[in-house]
Amino acid sequence: ITTHRPRSKFTGFNFDLTQTVPRHKTHDVNSRDQEKSVVQTTINTDKCLIIANSKNPYLHIYGVTSLPYTHIEITGGRAKCARCGENWKRFGVKCYFFSPDFLNWTNSRDRCVKMGGHLIIITSQAEQTFVSTGLGKPHWIGLNDLETEGKWMWVNNQPLTDTGVTFWSTIADGADEPNNWKEENPAGENCASLGDEKGRFRVWFDASCSKTRKYICEK
C-alpha cells in the first residue's frame, strides 16, 4: 500500500502519515529496499505491528501482524490496523472476499466498492497462488481493457504493464489469452477472469463483461 505522504507518526492504533517520528536505518526488509537505503519505522503495540518504510516522497507500509487486527486501511492520510470482517480471508496485509453469488463484471466491481474494497488487483505470484487455490468456478478480477482495446487496466487505473506480473493462459498451439474472441459476443472480451469454464483456475482469461461469474474483492 503506498501513499504520497513522506512523514509519519503513530497515535493510538492509527498511523498518522502527516507527522514525523524518529527513524532508523534498516537492511532486513528486502534486497530492493537495501539497495535504496530505505529508512524504516516500526510501531509495535500489544495488538498491532505496523512496519513502514519510507523513501521521500513515498511511504510504503509493508506489514501488519497480531490478531485480532488483520490488515491496514488508509483513510485521509492515516493508516490503521483493522479487522478483515466476516467472510473475508486474510493473506499478507490484505483481506479477500470470495463471492457466493454471480454478477457481471461491472456489477461485481460496484459490489466490491459497496463492501469497502475493490475487485482484486493481483501483483505477485504469491497472491495469484493464494486466490486461485481451490476456486472451483471462474471469478472476475479487477482488470479490463474497456476503454482501449489491448490496453489492460486495473480498477485503480494502473496499467497492467506497471505491475510487472501477468498470468494469462498460454496454450501450446499458440491460442494465448487475451484473444478478444467475438464469436459469442460481437463486443468482444474486455474483462479479465481468473479461471474459465474448463476448470483452468490458475490462469487469466479475457471474457465478455456481460457474463455472470463469481468475483473476488480485496481491501
List, for residues 191-206, the tens digit of each pLDDT value.
999 999 999 999 999 9
Verdict on whether the full-model pTM lies above 0.75: no
Domain with CATH 3.10.100.10 in the chain: 88-218
User: Domain 88-218 - what CATH class?
Assistant: alpha beta
What sign results for the dihedral spanned by CA atoms 55, 56, 57, 63? positive
Contact by Cβ (8 Å): 191, 120: no
For 207-217, write each residue's pLDDT tens digit.
Answer: 999 999 999 99
Q: Which residue has the cell 474483462?
A: 191
Name the band, by pLDDT with cuts 50, 70 and 90, for residue 187. confident
**Quick check: 90 pLDDT over 60?**
yes
Quote the percentage of the chain above a pLDDT of 70. 61
> Cα separation of 185 and 180, whole Å?
10
